[in-house]
Every structure is written in structure tokens, then in C-alpha cells.
Amino acid sequence: MGPLTAASHRVTLLRTRHIAFLCRAAAGDTNKLIAARFGLAHHTVRYELMAAYRILGVHDRTAAVVALVIAARRMVDQ
């Protein structure tokens, strides 16, 4: 099992806010744009995304989004 597949198995540990922020990141939104959309400070978004990376065991936004997509595809295929 590769690291992104392992990370995709940990997606269920994410909070709803983490998933919402990662979905917006996948759509190309910056932290500032995500913050504006949710009425938060951009530092809050940065902190929450970093927490999501730790939960998933990845080091960046791209890997987190890929893990989320892998998990979603696995759920659709079941």
C-alpha cells in the first residue's frame, strides 16, 4: 500500500471542516478565498489544513487532495 493509499484510508478521521476546506482547495481556492467563503481568518484555514495534513500523514495540499479523491473514488466503487 502506497503512502497516498494509506492516507486515503485515514480520510474518515477528518472533521467535516477539514473535508470542506480540502474540497475548496481541490477546486483551486487559496487559503484567503476559503477563509472569505467561510467567514474565517486565513490563519484559521491554514491551521485547519495543516491539522488535516497531520491526520492524513501527508506534507502538502496536493497530497491531501489526492488522498481525498482516492477515498471518494473508493467509496463510489463499492
pLDDT tens-digit readout, 14-47 = 999 999 999 999 999 999 999 999 999 999 999 9
Mean pLDDT of the residues in the chain: 90
pLDDT digits (tens, 9 = 90+) for 12-22: 889 999 999 99
For position 1, what pLDDT does the model report?
A: 63
Question: How do the domains of the chain map onto residue ranges?
Answer: 3-77
Q: What is the CATH number of domain 3-77?
A: 1.10.10.10
Q: Do 51 and 23 touch, CB atoms closer than 8 A?
A: no
Considering the entire predicted model, what is its pTM? 0.86
Tell me how far apart the alpha carbons of residues 72 and 67 are, in angstroms, rounded to a whole number.
9
